[in-house]
Amino acid sequence: MSIINNKTFFKQKKIRIAFYTLGCKLNFSETSTISRDFIDEKYTKVDFSDYADIYVINTCSVTDNADKKFKLLVRKALKQNNDAFIAAIGCYAQLKPKELAKINGVDLVLSAKEKFKLIDYLNDISKNEYVQVHSCEIEEVDKYVSSFSLNDRTRAFLKVQDGCDYKCSYCTIPRARGISRSDSLSNVLNNAKFISKSGIKEIVLTGVNIGDYGKGENGNKSHSHTFLDLIKHLDCLSSIDRIRISSIEPNLLSNDIINFIGQSKIFLPHFHIPLQSGSDFILKKMRRRYLTSLYFEKIETIKAIMPNASIGVDVIVGFPGESDQEFLKTYNFLNSLPVSYLHVFSYSERPNTFASKMKNTIPVNVRKKRSKILRSLSAKKRRFFYESQLGNKTNILFETENRMGYIHGFSENYIKVRSPWNPSLINKVKEVVLDKIDNQGFVRCS
C-alpha cells in the first residue's frame, strides 16, 4: 500500500509546463523540439490555457504586434497561476533581453544560443526578486540545431536552415538569429524519415532563408549542397507523401528548382514568394536583392510549368517614402499578377534598423488604409483562384478537428476545402472533385 501511495504522490508532484509560439513556422518547429525535452517522469505538458507551473513563450519580433502579444500572454499566464514561472525565449529575447526582463512576471530570458538548453535552467522554478537573463552577442550564435514539429498529426514543419546574411533595411532577423547556416543533408533526410514513420503525411520545409540552404552546412562557410540538391534527395524518399516549401526569396528560386517541382510527385505546386513592394524605388530602399522584373519572370515561369499552382505573396505597406504613387505601383503590379493570395503587413519601425532612421515616414492611419486595400485585393485574388479550380480533381489531406460539423483539409495547391464531418477521413489523402465555394469561403468537394 505504501508503494502505491508513493507512486501517487510523485505523480501528483509532476511539474506542469505549457508552451506558446509567436511568429513563424520556424519558431513552431523549434518550440516543438524544445518541448520534447520535457517528456519524462518529472514534467507534464499542458495547454497554455490551462493551469501550469511553468509557462514558456517563444517570442517573435518581426512586428510590433508580436511584442504586444507577448505581454498579453504573460498576463494571461499569471491569471491562471499567479505564482507561475515564466520563461521567454526566441527572437525578442535575443534582441531585447533587458526589456523583457522588466515585464512583470517574467523570470527567465534566454538568448538564441541558450534556448535549446531551456531544461537546464529550470532546476529552480521558485519566483525570485531578480530575473535570470542569459544573453549573448549575436556573433556567438553560429551553431545549427536541428528542429521539427510533431504536434500536428497531418503536417510537420521541418527546419532545414537558420539565420540570414541579407541586410534588408527593415529587418531584425539577422540580429535575432545570426548568420546563415544549414542542417546537414544527412540530418534533414533522417529527420524526414522519422517524421514520416510517425504517421504524418505532409512535411513543410522551413527556415529563415531556405533558398540559401547549404551555406554553413557542417560548419563550412561555403555551400556544401544547394537547395536544389536538398529537394532532389528528399524527392527520392518513398516514405513521404507530400512536401511543401515555405517562403523562398525570388532571387533564390531558380528555374531549375521550379522545373524540378513541376515534375515531382512529392513536392506540391504551392509557392510562397515574398515581394514586399511592387515599386522598384521602394525595393531599393528596402535593400531587397531583386526588382519587379525578376519577380514577374518567376511568376510567369511557375504558371507556364504549373498552371494550377498556388502562389502566395508577402507585401509590406507604408514603408518610409512610399508615396501614394508608389503604393499605386504596388497595387497595380499585384493586380496584374496571377497570384493566389497576399500576406499583408503594415510597416512597423524596428529599433536599430536602417529603415527606422529614414525620413518621409508614413502616418499609421495611412498604413492601415493601404493594408485594408490590399487585404481586399487578396480576397478577390483568392476567390478568383478558387473559381478557376472548380471542377478539377485534386488530392486533399484532411485534418483532425471537427469544426462545427465539418472536416477541413488542403489540396495539393493549397485550396482550403471542407466536407461534412467524417472521422474516417482524418489524416487521409483522398482524391476529390472541387464542387463549389460555400458562403464561408471554403471549397466544397465530392
Smallest CA-to-CA distance from 253 within 214, 211, 302, 289 is with 211
Q: Find the radius of gyration of the CA atoms of the chain.
A: 23
Mean pLDDT of the chain: 93
Q: Tell me: the pLDDT tens digits for 33-66?
A: 999 999 888 999 999 999 999 999 999 987 667 7
Confidence band, pLDDT 50/70/90 cuts, at residue 267: very high
Question: What single string gives the DSSP state of each residue in 298-364?
Answer: HHHHHHHH-TT-EEEEEEEE--TT--HHHHHHHHHHHHHS---EEEEEE----TT-SGGG-SSPPPH
Q: Which fold has domain 155-388?
A: pyruvate-formate lyase- activating enzyme (3.80.30)
Confidence band, pLDDT 50/70/90 cuts, at residue 217: confident
Each domain of the chain, given as residue ranges in start order, spans 2-140, 155-388, 393-445
CA distance 327 to 279: 7
Q: How far apart are the first and last CA of the chain?
A: 58
What are φ and ψ of residue 117, in 5° steps?
Answer: -105, 20
Express as a percent the part of the chain with pLDDT over 70. Answer: 95
**For the residues 2-31, what does the mean pLDDT come to?**
75
CA distance 14 to 3: 17
Q: Tell me: the pLDDT tens digits for 426-443?
A: 999 999 999 999 988 899
Q: Which fold has domain 2-140?
A: Rossmann fold (3.40.50)
pLDDT at 152: 64
pLDDT at 7: 44
Smallest CA-to-CA distance from 101 within 86, 84, 119 is with 86
| Statement: residue 8 has pLDDT above 60 | no
The C-alpha torsion from 43 through 47 and 53 to 59, rounded to 10°, is: 100
Q: Which DSSP letter does residue 223 get?
A: B
Strands 106-110 and 132-134: parallel
CB 52, CB 77: distance < 8 Å = yes
**For the residues 168-189, what does the mean pLDDT come to?**
94
Confidence band, pLDDT 50/70/90 cuts, at residue 346: very high
Smallest CA-to-CA distance from 188 within 152, 155, 150, 157 is with 157
Smallest CA-to-CA distance from 244 within 142, 348, 155, 123 is with 155
Q: Tell me: the pLDDT tens digits for 92-104?
A: 999 999 999 999 9
- Please report the sign of the dihedral spanned by the C-alpha atoms of residue 371, residue 372, residue 375, residue 376: negative
What are φ and ψ of residue 126, in 5° steps?
Answer: -75, 150
**For the residues 324-328, what does the mean pLDDT come to?**
98
| Statement: residue 202 has pLDDT above 90 | yes
